Structure 1
Amino acid sequence: MELGKIWVPHNRLLLSILGAATFVLLSVGIYFFNLSTQPKQVTLVIDGISQDITTTAKTVEQLLQEKQVQITDKDSIKPGLDTSVEKAMTVDLQTSWAIPVQIAGQKTVVHTIKRTVAGALADAGVKVSKKDKINPSVDSKLTKDTEISVIRVEEKAVQVNKDIAFREIRQKDTSLNKGEVRELKKGQAGKAILHYSVVFENGKEVSRKLVKTDVVTEKQDRVLAVGTKKQEVMAASLSSRGGKDIRAKRVLNNVTLTAYAPNAGGGYGRTAMGVKATVGKTVAVDPKLVPLGWWVYIEGIGYRRAEDTGGAIKGHKMDVYLGSESEAMRFGRKKGYKVHVIGPKLP
């Protein structure tokens, strides 16, 4: 009986304590539940444009879903998607743009959250030099419609070998007949190296500028003596072997005669006219004085036809064709002959 009377008051006290504790815990739970479900004021910034919104979302991801904002893995979201939403927090979303980039003619697309041309090129891993042409310029701001073009510009030093043409200098010579030309000095082209600065765009040459010229070999001008002396024209008639009178086109005075003959093989072959050399007919002349194919009358020698030329036969020199080397040696060199230039037909 005594024990029962003691237990009852203690039991009531314990129950009171347990009830109070339960009430407190339940109240706290209800408070925090109400707190978590209460709308929160947050700031949502999308591509620099901010808006204040009220949300009951628990995480950033739920917040974006609540506002029907679609994102990709290339977008930037701060704080992260699994971050709990708190009162007065700011959620910053930067969406990526697909920007076409053409580099040296090759097209690609870069997804970037940067808003300048320089930033987009950096995200694309494209390095540019000061000489490259970028359109729009690197400091330009992007729009969703921007297309970037990069032209690779390269400057190279190029060397080119070039011949320097020689001039032909003509000097009047009163000792030569008019129309007669004699080479006094041979011409020779010079050599030079031209140094160019060549600009290439995307591998194609667009311009070149001559920087300097190095002369390796000087040119040597050709010098010619041009005759101005009037030729003597025959005024008298000649008597041909047939007794007919003929008139020469011109008369050459003080002509030097030499002779040449067949070689050891039996002949010189074709003459400069393409015909076979003939004894008693063929004579080598300077075609500037006597045209090939014309007949001449050499006083003391007879009629000959100008059918051949020779390297040493210049001006008032003629080479008579004979039958053998010994005859040519005996003929030697004879000076002071008068030659009548007749024409293409033998009288």
Structure 2
Amino acid sequence: MHYEEKLPLHVLSGFLGSGKTTLLKSWLAQQNLNDIALLVNEFGEVGIDHHLLNEVAPDTVLLPSGCICCQIRGELKTALLDLYERRARGLLPPFTQVILETTGLADPSPILSTLLHDRQLQHHFTQGTLVTLVDAEHARQQADEQPEWIAQVSAADKLLLSKCDRVSELEKCALQQWLHNINPMAELTDTQHILDTPHPLFQSEVEHGSRDQRFRWLGACADDHFALKPTAHSLSHPPTQTCVITLEQSLNWPAFAIWLSMLLHCHGSTVLRMKGILRISDSRSPIVIQGVQHTLHPPIHLQDWPGELESSKLVFILRGLEADRLQQAFSRYMQALQEP
């Protein structure tokens, strides 16, 4: 990697006790540590996890002063820029990626917002993959009682089930389906599979994966030819809905960007996750957009359409905003564009 290339910042999330440090320690033992810089955030004044990780990654950096999603976003920026400077000066190996292990109480969305909106960080770093661990034994209880849990699960690019040996195979299958209902865009596997196979734990699906990997989140939606179709799972906890919007005609990108920006400005806290692949009126190739709550990531331009898919597709994970209401808002926006 050339030094002027941006470094991906990957995030390892998961509620308290899900096994993040255990997984990371085992996974790092199989990696080339010259390629990785590691940041660990621990809640409170006394850190323990970074001592455990120092056994396999001696240059681990501790961010100890609080939950990374609220108190220490400035500290995160300082640590990242310091890592980059030390790398450029040859004081650290020429690592090609940064991994941030968050505290179990962190909401990932402010972390992504810090990376995407800070100009200094934008110059050196880019968003990587957000991996969330889910405790198979306690997931349903945590979903009922902990608001951070749903924020972590819904924001994930990859969901990893831990402690699967503590539940039956039937319970595991039901949990996998439940998680898919909550976040149909995420790749779903378990920690044992990651450790048993040479698996790229952190990987940017859109930029580096195959077509199937990059658009796995479309799932069965790719075969849906209805213009607008909201879907919701029947479980009462957590109260989330998935809204799928399919559109055959091309979109006016400036007008759509304004509509989407207004939606996230007014209802960003209720849009837990959004992804879309869009046909734009002034371009033959599609663009991919994604966002977490109020934060909209820069669009990614693709060279061509994946597989048989040729229509625009938007997928929203909502909490506190009815899918029907979002459907109606989008319909009004489309009608307004057609008016003389």
TM bucket normalised to smaller: under 0.3
Alignment TM-score, normalising by the size of structure 1:
0.17
| More strand by percentage | 1
| TM-score for the superposition, normalised by structure 2 | 0.17
More helix by share: 2
Please say which structure displays the higher CA radius of gyration. Answer: 1
